[in-house]
Structure 1
């Protein structure tokens, strides 16, 4: 009987340790790498989506990145931007399917965003434009999910750029961001 009374306390302790947000530069659980700024804040928003950090932060010529169990985050200082992505799966009446979600946030304001998705280093599904008034993005960032034609055994690369419309086309002063790479 005593063991049954202890179960709620054990469950509460597990929930607190599992769901408690990680501080900046914190390893969320044993065996995980530390999560450093600017990635800690984004990870804290959805720790269940990204999972454990599986590698330390790595530097590139254009910024830095960190890999997670189900995703990646990149920082592009030239763009003032953190871009992140994760993969997941879901079930419906026709079986199991995969999806990928990307999020970006920016310190600059743009009138539109151009979004590119590549699969295995080849353009995939073309390029989209997202306007702040369409509900998918704001002038400083957005969230985009792909629910169809996503298959395991491929790599997916996601890039964005902020632009201003001109009578003769688009002006995108910072160019494309560093890609977020997802593979599963």
Structure 2
């Protein structure tokens, strides 16, 4: 087999072959093999990183919140991320690149992640309300979430905070649908 390459690339290959103590032919073969292995390695690294981030988030949230609510939020967050990544894989089954290298898949994932915090908060609040209907933690959870959204909660009671959060998301959804 023969092929043409630029003199600049030829010099780089010779320098790399010398550094790696390989012949020029071995260097070319090694580099070609690496180009086929790179996607496999990158996919494994990304999947391992996702699992690690998920576990880390769960542990950090539990440590920061010091309660089962924080742990549950972290667990639900990890589950949501995993579900959304699986949705990307299913939506783009024949994608030539993994999701983290394809801007279309990344944008799909980002758009799909929008609202995850709302759904997790609502899930946990509903769960807490079922377990302890009079528990003030539900209000605290909604209050913290409203404040993280930039909603002024001063002087509002529980029902008013819940309404404000609902209005925020209704407005956000309306603006997204109009785009």
Structure with larger Rg: 2
> Of Structure 1 and Structure 2, which has the larger fraction of its residues in strand?
1
Would you tell me which structure has more helix in proportion to its own residues?
A: 2
TM-score (norm. length: structure 2) = 0.28
